[in-house]
């Protein structure tokens, strides 16, 4: 199974593609798509959509896994992350691919064994599971790979798509 992991954000959107073959995980791709605050919203969302779609098509993803965001007092941030999620949902719909969501603690628990792991511990486990010398330099790319791995760990349990 090939999964596109997404760390959603309007300024920095992390993408990570992982393929599982048997009991082996293969790193296929990681990047951070960046937009600028001074760009019009349609241009920003359009760029995210284009990179998401291109990546999903290129690697033939069978599922998209996103980090679910929890915002309590950051309404503007939540609204703008919603723009990124809209791009994810449009790509998924266009390709007929399900979208699954995992919270930050679920991702940490899946990779490190407990939900309060720090970013460095998660990055080390991403590198270990994917047989990389080190995790990607950009946190958003590492987070996207961690989300993809989390879905692969949970896929056998039959999670429900968003």
Strand intervals (E) in the chain: 2-7, 12-21, 24-34, 63-67, 99-102
Question: C-alpha angle 9/42/144, rounded to 5°?
Answer: 20
Residue 67 is a catalytic residue: yes
* 140 is a catalytic site residue: yes
How many residues are recorded in the chain? 162
Q: Is 7 annotated as a binding residue?
A: yes
**Annotated binding residue 140:** yes
Instruction: Report the C-alpha gap between 51 and 153 in whole angstroms.
Output: 25
Q: Taking the CA atoms of the chain, what radius of gyration do you get in angstroms?
A: 15
Separation of first and last alpha carbons in the chain: 19
- Active-site residue 134, yes or no? no
* Active-site choice (31, 53, 67, 116): 67
Catalytic residue among 7, 39, 54, 151: 7
Single out the catalytic residue among 53, 140, 151, 154.
140
CA distance 15 to 146: 10
Confirm whether residue 138 is marked as ligand binding: no
Q: Residue 8 belongs to what H/E stretch?
A: none
**Which residues are annotated binding-site positions for Mg(2+)?**
7, 67, 140
Task: List the catalytic residues.
Answer: 7, 67, 140
**Which residues are annotated binding-site positions?**
7, 67, 140
């Amino acid at each position: 199974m090939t999964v596109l992991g997404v760390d959603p954000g309007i300024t920095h959107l992390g993408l990570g593609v992982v393929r599982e073959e048997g009991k082996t995980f293969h790193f296929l791709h990681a990047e951070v798509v960046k937009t600028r605050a001074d760009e019009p919203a349609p241009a920003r969302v359009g760029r995210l959509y284009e990179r998401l779609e291109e990546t999903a098509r290129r690697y033939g993803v069978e599922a998209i896994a996103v980090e679910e965001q929890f915002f309590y007092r950051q309404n503007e941030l939540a609204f703008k992350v919603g723009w990124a999620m809209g791009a994810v949902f449009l790509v998924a719909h266009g390709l007929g691919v399900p979208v699954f969501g995992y919270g930050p603690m679920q991702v940490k628990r899946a990779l490190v064994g407990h939900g309060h792991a720090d970013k460095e511990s998660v990055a080390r486990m991403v590198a270990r599971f994917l047989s990389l010398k080190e995790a990607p330099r950009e946190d958003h790319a590492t987070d996207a790979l961690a989300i993809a791995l989390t879905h692969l760990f949970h896929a056998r349990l039959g999670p429900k798509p968003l």
